[in-house]
Amino acid sequence: MLFQTLITSFLIASASAHSWIEEIRIIAPNGTFTGDAGYARGNWRRTAAGFNDTTMTYLIPPDGQANITVVYSSTKMCKNSQQTETQTSGSPRLQASPGDAIALRYQENGHVTLPWNQPGKPPNRGTAYVYGTTSPKVGEIFNDVHKVWNWNGTGGDGRGRLLSMQNFDDGRCYQINTGNISEYRQEKFPHVANQLMGADLWCQQDIKLPTTAPSGEVYTLYWVWDWPTLPDIDPTYPDGKIEIYTTCIDINVEGSVVNETESYVSGQSLDSASVASELDDLTSEDAVSWDSSVDQPPGSTSSSASSSTSISAAQAETSTSKSSTEATVQPTSSVAAGVDSVNSQASTVTATVGEVTAWRTVTKLEVFSRTVTVTECPSATG
């Protein structure tokens, strides 16, 4: 009875919730989570007395700011309760080694499986960035880090670097609802309800800790979900709006450098497994020559909100045709250059309109510069 009550409460709470990093796990070379979970600074578990959405949500710009198309220079990276390297009782830091693969897990809360509820949002449901540093600041300024720190660690003041950049939608996660995306994923990625996730399947961003992270010290991660509303779509926001959420995380780095090659083993329980496509993308920075003009890590994929995409959310919601439809992506020159430097494979990729938000898995970087063939277009009115 208690378990059923917990599942029901998760479903009700997630209907209007936003997202943050719920837990962090080490990923074994076969793709399975291993060891004890770690948690963000100032973490509140959903089962804790007094928990509500605002205890973990940190919105930029904040509610009440008159101009929601700018982030002011005084805006902090971390929520007030996450300004210092402090853990709450029952929510310890992750213990990891340099070079470990880790999963940052979060709930999609309908932002992926019910995209028509938020008009004007990018098809990839926003872009999630992870920045890392051994020298965090109390009162860290958001604009000093976001889109300033780069993959090479040469951006801004050079205190940190960009570790990962990917679509918020990991191509697999879902909230239980009657939308066609959720129903499709429930069938494709079956998940037995458990006490942690309820009946939902959480999203994740899989990254590698730098091999240079010093053992015996704390390594800090800034997770940034950039989820803008595009202009001229939602009449409530004719100029669009900036909408960003962050979570600040500390990790205790211990032991020697891990140099294992990850290879996902299929057929394992999704309750405790990484995302196969993300794990395959993880590559040690020591083994990769990266174009410094791109300023993003190998394997990073994102359908940028600033790029014109070939398939709008509205098209995805209304299409019922079963025939194939072709549409060409119109990239910005900077994004196209970054894509071409990484992937010059097949010029056509296949996506499903019901899965338009799953570009992280289906199209990866090609979505910016290739022709997307869209097939199997189910109605999105479920």
For residue 341, tell me if it sits in a domain. no
pLDDT band at 341 (very low <50, low <70, confident <90, very high): very low
The rounded distance, in Å, linking the Cα atoms of 380 and 70 is: 33
Structure confidence at residue 381 (pLDDT): 36
Structural domain of 192: 2-303
Structure confidence at residue 270 (pLDDT): 93
Structure confidence at residue 47 (pLDDT): 76
For residue 226, tell me if it sits in a domain. yes
SS3 (DSSP) at 138: coil
Write the DSSP string, 23-57: EEEEE-TTSBEEEEEE--TT---TTSTT--GGGT-
Task: Out of 94-103, 199-208, 291-300, pick the least confident.
Answer: 291-300
pLDDT tens, residue by residue, 30-54: 999 999 999 999 998 877 777 787 8
Segments of the chain assigned E as strands: 23-27, 33-38, 59-60, 94-96, 101-106, 127-133, 160-167, 203-208, 218-226, 244-253, 325-328, 348-352, 371-375
Q: Is the bond leading into 210 cis (omega within 30 degrees of zero)?
A: no
Give the pair of three-digit tokens for residue 119.
């008009």
Q: Which long-range contacts (CB under 8 A, 24 or more apart) does 65-72 make?
A: 68/237, 68/241, 68/242, 68/243, 69/239, 69/240, 69/241, 69/242, 70/242, 71/142, 71/143, 71/242, 71/244
Kindly report the pTM of this predicted structure. 0.75
For residue 71, tell me if it sits in a domain. yes
The rounded distance, in Å, linking the Cα atoms of 283 and 115 is: 31
Max mean pLDDT range (34-38, 261-265, 349-353):
34-38
Domain count, the chain: 1
For residue 153, tell me if it sits in a domain. yes
For residue 357, tell me if it sits in a domain. no
How many other β-carbons are positioned within 10 Å of the β-carbon of residue 121? 23
Mean pLDDT, residues 206-224 taken together = 96
For residue 10, tell me if it sits in a domain. yes
pLDDT tens, residue by residue, 103-159: 999 999 999 999 999 999 999 999 999 999 999 999 999 999 999 999 999 999 999
| C-alpha Rg value of the chain to the nearest Å | 20
Q: Whats the size of the chain, residue-wise?
A: 382
Structure confidence at residue 67 (pLDDT): 96
Structure confidence at residue 244 (pLDDT): 98
For residue 356, tell me if it sits in a domain. no
Structure confidence at residue 297 (pLDDT): 52
Segments of 227-280 assigned E as strands: 244-253
Give the pair of three-digit tokens for residue 112.
């992926």
Phi, psi dihedrals of residue 33, rounded to the nearest 5°:
-65, 145
Mean pLDDT, residues 204-216 taken together = 96
Phi, psi dihedrals of residue 271, rounded to the nearest 5°:
-60, -30
The percent of residues in the chain predicted with pLDDT above 90, rounded, is: 60
Torsion-angle region of 50 (φ positive above 0: left; ψ -120 to 50: alpha; else: beta): left
Give the pair of three-digit tokens for residue 201.
């399947």
pLDDT tens, residue by residue, 145-201: 999 999 999 999 999 999 999 999 999 999 999 999 999 999 999 988 888 898 899
For residue 317, tell me if it sits in a domain. no
Write the DSSP string, 182-203: HHHHHHHS----BTTTBTSB-E
Give the residue among 61, 175, 64, 158 at the shortest CA–CA distance from 117. Answer: 175
- Pairing of β 23-27 and β 101-106: antiparallel
The rounded distance, in Å, linking the Cα atoms of 286 and 169 is: 28
Mean pLDDT, residues 2-19 taken together = 46
Contact between 121 and 313 under an 8 Å Cβ cutoff? The reply is: yes
Taking 80 as the threshold, does the pLDDT of residue 240 lie above it? yes
